[in-house]
Structure 1
């Protein structure tokens, strides 16, 4: 199987396809995401963004009043294009494959997503920082994410139940256990807790879910 597409690649594709933005706006937004991920939102200046985007600093201010507005402009294509596209690719390449055991399913899904998260952790931190302080965007993200999770995992979980590989518990409780266990490992990266080897974390998540979801 191919390696999962990087978030920055999805974003660049969304920028390329967006006919409502000028080329300079696309350059500014791509530069902003890249710099926010590299330096952090607080440590990035509009001068940095202008230099990376190869535009005058006045052009940045002309298009976007401040960095918060830039961050909001970055989030919009994530909600409209990037997240749904990521979900579709993930479902096709991992979740909807045939599996003979629950552990095989968990190994495929957890391994793929943990490596994806670790490879994109700096960008993910930028996105979650934006969502943390903006209720409107957070609610939109919740709606998009909930829909994506349901579309991807409901058929897979139903199939695993029919094979008697997953306990007969409500799907929303299955999702709750999977998401909370997985995000617990991701959250330690946000808190900069003592590091754990990614493969050790993967094994721990798989073992926990295997025990919790088996009939």
Structure 2
């Protein structure tokens, strides 16, 4: 394990030990599970591999977590309620409450903000993106803890820029979906799917913003 990953895990394990003190073995199991799930995905991971990495017997895992699914939920649920939801809202406040002259300025602030978040919490972000589509419980938790609150804050911003003519008058949810798809696609490719490529980050951010604003049209762009 890299020193960076070790420091990250130590920081994140604090979230799991706040409400209910966990034993050293439980924390080792959680740490190992985060590593294995992030690297291989839930379906391809085994409790025996997690046990080996945690230096415990496989039976020890099942004394604390009845199933591999329960182990996954014990990792993701606290992260969404204690870290992701508060972090998204707290960290987004400075972005969402700022006064931007253009949608382009707003997009740039959002992308930079989300890049910092993904870089800091990449292992759990990987688990979330990999597993939410396949586990209804995680999807429901994500919608309740994160998505609903964020959408509520973003909708008035979209409507403001629609009112001043900077965004086409389509449903605000559609505008958010198209914007979010482009930003999430960039983040997923950059940090999860193809991180080994030589990325020109500033250029890619600019391309992403211009794509959201103007698509792939060859028509002359205003201004």
Equivalent position SS for 2:101 = coil
State the 1:109 CA deviation: 0.9
Q: Contact 2:183–2:208 (CA<8 Å) still a contact in 1? A: yes
Where does residue 83 of structure 1 map in the other structure? 84
Q: Contact 1:106–1:210 (CA<8 Å) still a contact in 2? A: no
Highest RCO, 1 vs 2 (Cα 8 Å, sep ≥ 6): 1
- Quick check: 1:92 aligned with 2:93? yes
State the 1:64 CA deviation: 1.5
Where does residue 126 of structure 2 map in the other structure? 125
Equivalent position SS for 2:99 = coil
Supply the distance in 2 between the matched residues of 1:9 and 1:153 (Cα, whole angstroms).
Answer: 33
Q: Contact 1:11–1:77 (CA<8 Å) still a contact in 2? A: no
State the 1:147 CA deviation: 0.4
Supply the distance in 2 between the matched residues of 1:119 and 1:40 (Cα, whole angstroms).
Answer: 19
Supply the distance in 2 between the matched residues of 1:9 and 1:100 (Cα, whole angstroms).
Answer: 41
Structure 1 vs Structure 2 CA RMSD: 3.4
Residues 70-127 of structure 1: CA distance to partner in whole angstroms, max 9, x if unpaired?
1121122133332211221232132221212222111111122134335544432222
Where does residue 70 of structure 1 map in the other structure? 71
Residues 162-210 of structure 1: CA distance to partner in whole angstroms, max 9, x if unpaired?
5554343322012111111122223435544983613332111111123
Where does residue 111 of structure 1 map in the other structure? 112
Equivalent position SS for 2:170 = coil
Where does residue 218 of structure 2 map in the other structure? none
Where does residue 211 of structure 2 map in the other structure? 208
Supply the distance in 2 between the matched residues of 1:158 and 1:203 (Cα, whole angstroms).
Answer: 23
Structure 2, gaps ≥5 residues long? 1-6, 216-221
Where does residue 46 of structure 1 map in the other structure? 50
Q: How does 1:1-215 map to 2 (within 5 A)?
A: 11-19=12-20, 22-24=22-24, 25-37=26-38, 42=44, 45-51=49-55, 58-188=59-189, 190-192=192-194, 195=197, 197=199, 198-211=201-214
